[in-house]
């Protein structure tokens, strides 16, 4: 993936803010591999308190369980693990259940440089979005170093939110 510019992220955030304000919606984030990067991008825009409710940074599995009600069974040896569709969807549901938000995004992945496996190589990221009863998740395979994977995840999360909000018109 080519390098993501701050200007591109700022443009996505401005468009998202416009849509959230128009619909009078509040947004929450649940982040693992981005470590709060999505929330940082959102709150870089002045006035974001009018549409951004909260951000959960749940890097460890125990934090995902404590903060977002992610079932511990997902992390068992027989479970799908932290980097999975099931965990991403549980995180996005937890973000909505534990906030005042109407719409949420969750990310969980392997940013690297370590932590990957044959089944889940570095750059594997699950992103989940939910608004009303519509929840969806998508697995991405990003390339590049840790910073590139994290930036690509932020862009994918924002673009997915815009798509989700646009699909409800």
Q: What's the pTM value of the predicted model, to 2 decimals?
A: 0.95
> Which residues, at least 6 apart from 155, have a Cβ–Cβ distance to it below 8 Å?
4, 8, 9, 12
Q: What angle do CA 56, 134, 62 make, to 5 degrees?
A: 30
pLDDT, tens digit only, all 169 positions of the chain: 346 788 999 999 999 999 999 999 999 999 999 999 999 999 999 999 999 999 999 999 999 999 999 999 999 999 999 999 999 999 999 999 999 999 999 999 999 999 999 999 999 999 999 999 899 999 999 999 999 999 999 999 999 999 999 965 4
CATH H superfamily, domain 6-167: CinA-like (3.90.950.20)
d(CA 98, CA 59): 17
Q: Phi/psi of residue 105, each to 5°?
A: -135, 145
The SS3 call for residue 52 is strand
Query: What does the domain layout of the chain look like in residue ranges?
Result: 6-167
């Amino acid at each position: 993936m080519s390098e993501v510019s701050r200007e591109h992220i700022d443009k996505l955030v401005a468009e998202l803010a416009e849509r959230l304000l128009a619909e009078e919606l509040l947004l929450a984030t649940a982040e693992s591999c981005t470590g709060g990067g999505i929330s940082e991008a959102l709150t870089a825009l002045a006035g974001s308190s009018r549409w951004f409710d909260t951000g959960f940074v749940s890097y460890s599995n125990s934090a995902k369980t404590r903060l977002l009600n992610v079932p511990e069974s997902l992390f068992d040896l027989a479970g799908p693990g932290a980097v999975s569709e099931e965990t991403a969807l549980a995180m996005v549901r937890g973000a909505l259940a534990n906030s005042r938000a109407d719409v949420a995004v969750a990310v969980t992945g392997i940013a690297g440089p370590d932590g990957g496996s044959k089944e889940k190589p570095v750059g594997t990221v699950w992103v989940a979005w939910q608004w009303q009863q519509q929840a969806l998740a998508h697995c991405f395979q990003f390339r590049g170093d840790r910073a590139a994977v994290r930036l690509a995840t932020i862009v994918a999360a924002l673009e997915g939110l815009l798509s989700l909000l646009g699909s409800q018109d």
